[in-house]
């Protein structure tokens, strides 16, 4: 199952941010409709892989059986930019219910008013969101008190590892702390002179899913203070993170040698990817990768575990980075009550959430679904369920600039790992100033 929601999308995020910045006055819809009256709803989503589209279509069919008065027209493979243009224009062709793979943009959806506030619908239906959804998932579906989205399945990140390589190196279990991580990575690294033939773990941020924010989540950082000001320079964990990543890199030959190896890998979704070809002994990835490995049948035994944590936070082991799909109601919809019935079914109905999660091999997004005995019993998948339930697992905080602050953090991190950032403290202070300036501009 290709994971479209999980790739790094800097250009797309910026483009979406520019689109949303001009959307302060979205078309106005209404919640005066009768949800029991005959109606046709338009549901736009981003799924495009045949199995995923089949799964979402089956979900809609189940909903229509329960609500025979509501017909749902679905449109798939829709980008955030297309959705936002349609919502800005409004009209009869605009969607009523929308979903997005980009949790980073929730701050803009809520702040711009283009996605309707869901709290009145939740209250009217007697849905206690704090009892239904894990707190981390709720955090990335609201912004400054506005709940404009709900979680629609989630993704958790963990550590895939080559069991055969571990056995050959005499390592009996996956590393749990960053010190163990560096030690094991060094043992697993294979060299031919100065050339790295296999990395224990590739820390370079441009590798596949290795976005620095995903790795940084293991430290549990705070990106913003209570006033919304960037605080990466004053956050001591930021420096710890960069120091640890450098130690991990140096233990395996250094950034340049690892970068040469990275550039020899095939596409992330191909059989020539670094982990599939045995050129990576450990690899950061999401829950969908297990299903792909089962289908591709690599010539080594593999396992999955949580990513290691800092040594002084050993009690948080089991945590990971979380993200996922979010869904909401278009503010421009004139059928918001009927739209709420669809959204409520997709996001809160336990049987539906479990069935959908099993079908596309994603993590369920409600507390009840996460503990359902009907979930896929595959041990690798269960590891990600535990990561999702871990109270220390972290998602990125929403911002009115969407993913602009994430892109800025990524760009700075690329410079740091390549040794081009200069004075780290000065660079971080400048990064904070840039993020704050972008936030101020977005709010004005």
Q: Between the CA of residue 301 and those of 227, 275, 290, what are the distances in Å?
A: 49, 12, 12
Domains of the chain: 4-155+322-389 (3.40.190.10), 157-316 (3.40.190.10)
| Dihedral angle computed from the Cα positions of residues 299, 381, 316 and 365, in that order, rounded to the nearest 10 degrees | 150
**Mean predicted confidence (pLDDT) in 242-259:** 97
Does the pLDDT at position 251 exceed 60? yes
How far apart CA 189 and CA 279 sit, in angstroms, is: 9
Contacts of 397 (CB under 8 A, 6+ apart): 139, 140, 223, 224
pLDDT at residue 26, as a whole number: 53
What are φ and ψ of residue 160, in 5° steps?
-85, 140
d(CA 347, CA 153): 8
Q: Which residues pair with 151 in a beta bridge?
A: 326
Whether residue 18 is predicted with pLDDT greater than 80 in this model: the reply is no
> Model confidence over 90-108: pLDDT tens digits?
788 899 999 999 898 899 8
> For residue 433, what is the enclosing H or E element?
helix 424-443
- Read off the pLDDT of residues 219-242 as tens digits, 9 standing for 90 and up: 999 999 999 999 999 999 999 999
- pLDDT computed for residue 405 by the predictor: 95
Residue 393, pLDDT > 50, answer yes
| DSSP three-state, residue 103 | helix
State the Cα–Cα distance between residues 364 and 346, nearest whole angstrom. Answer: 11
Please state the rounded mean pLDDT for residues 389-410. 93
Predicted confidence (pLDDT) at residue 367 exceeds the cutoff of 70: yes
- Please count the other Cβ atoms lying within 10 Å of the Cβ belonging to residue 131: 9
pTM: 0.89
What b/e string do you get for 225-247 counting C-beta neighbours within 10 Å, with b at 16 or more?
Answer: eeebebbbbebebbebbbebbbe
Give the Cα-Cα-Cα angle 104, 110, 116 (nearest 5 degrees): 130
Q: Which of 394, 386, 357 is nearest to 374 (CA)?
A: 357
Q: Return the structure tokens found at 411.
A: 């760009």
pLDDT of the residue at 87: 86
What is the pLDDT confidence band of residue 263, given thresholds at 50, 70 and 90? very high
83 pLDDT more than 70: yes
Q: How far is it, in rounded angstroms, from Cα 88 to Cα 317?
A: 44
Sorting pLDDT into bands at 50, 70 and 90, what band is 119? very high
pLDDT at position 9: 33
């Amino acid at each position: 199952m290709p994971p479209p929601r999980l790739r790094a999308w800097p250009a797309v995020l910026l483009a979406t941010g520019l689109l949303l910045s001009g959307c302060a006055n979205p078309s106005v819809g209404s919640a005066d409709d009768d949800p029991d009256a005959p109606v046709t709803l338009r549901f736009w989503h981003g799924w495009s892989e045949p199995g995923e589209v089949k799964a979402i279509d089956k979900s809609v069919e189940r909903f229509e059986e329960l609500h025979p008065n509501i017909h749902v027209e679905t449109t798939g493979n829709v980008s955030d930019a297309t959705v936002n243009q349609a919502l800005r224009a409004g009209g009869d062709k605009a969607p009523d219910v929308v979903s997005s793979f980009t949790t980073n943009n929730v701050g803009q959806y809520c702040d711009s008013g283009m996605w309707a506030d869901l709290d009145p619908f939740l209250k009217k239906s007697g849905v206690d969101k704090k009892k239904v959804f894990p707190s981390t998932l709720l955090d990335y579906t609201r912004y400054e008190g506005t709940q404009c989205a709900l979680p629609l399945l989630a993704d958790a990140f963990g550590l895939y590892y080559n069991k055969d390589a571990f056995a050959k190196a005499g390592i009996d279990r996956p590393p749990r702390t960053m010190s163990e991580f560096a030690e094991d990575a060094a043992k697993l690294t294979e060299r031919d002179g100065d050339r790295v033939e296999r990395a224990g773990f590739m820390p370079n941020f441009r590798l596949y899913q290795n976005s620095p924010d995903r790795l940084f989540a293991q430290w549990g950082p705070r990106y913003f203070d209570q006033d919304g000001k960037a605080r990466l320079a004053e956050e001591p964990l930021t420096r710890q993170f960069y120091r640890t990543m450098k130690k991990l890199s140096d233990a395996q030959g250094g950034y340049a040698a690892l970068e040469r190896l990275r550039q020899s890998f095939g596409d992330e979704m191909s059989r020539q990817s670094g982990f599939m070809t045995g050129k990576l002994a450990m690899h950061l990835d999401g829950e969908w990768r297990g299903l792909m490995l089962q289908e591709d049948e690599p010539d080594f035994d593999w396992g999955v575990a949580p990513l290691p944590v800092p040594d002084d936070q050993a009690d948080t082991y089991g945590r990971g980075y979380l993200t996922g799909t979010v869904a909401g109601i278009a503010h421009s919809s004139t059928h918001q009550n009927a739209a709420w019935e669809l959204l409520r079914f997709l996001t809160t109905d336990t049987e539906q959430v479990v069935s959908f999660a099993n079908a596309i091999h994603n993590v369920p997004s409600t507390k009840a679904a996460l503990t359902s005995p009907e979930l896929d019993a595959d041990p690798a998948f269960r590891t990600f369920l535990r990561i999702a339930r871990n109270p220390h697992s972290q998602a990125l905080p929403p911002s009115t600039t969407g993913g602009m602050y994430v892109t800025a953090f990524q760009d700075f991190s690329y410079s740091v790992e390549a040794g081009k950032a200069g004075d780290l403290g000065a660079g971080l202070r400048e990064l904070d100033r840039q993020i704050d300036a972008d936030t101020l501009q977005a709010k004005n």
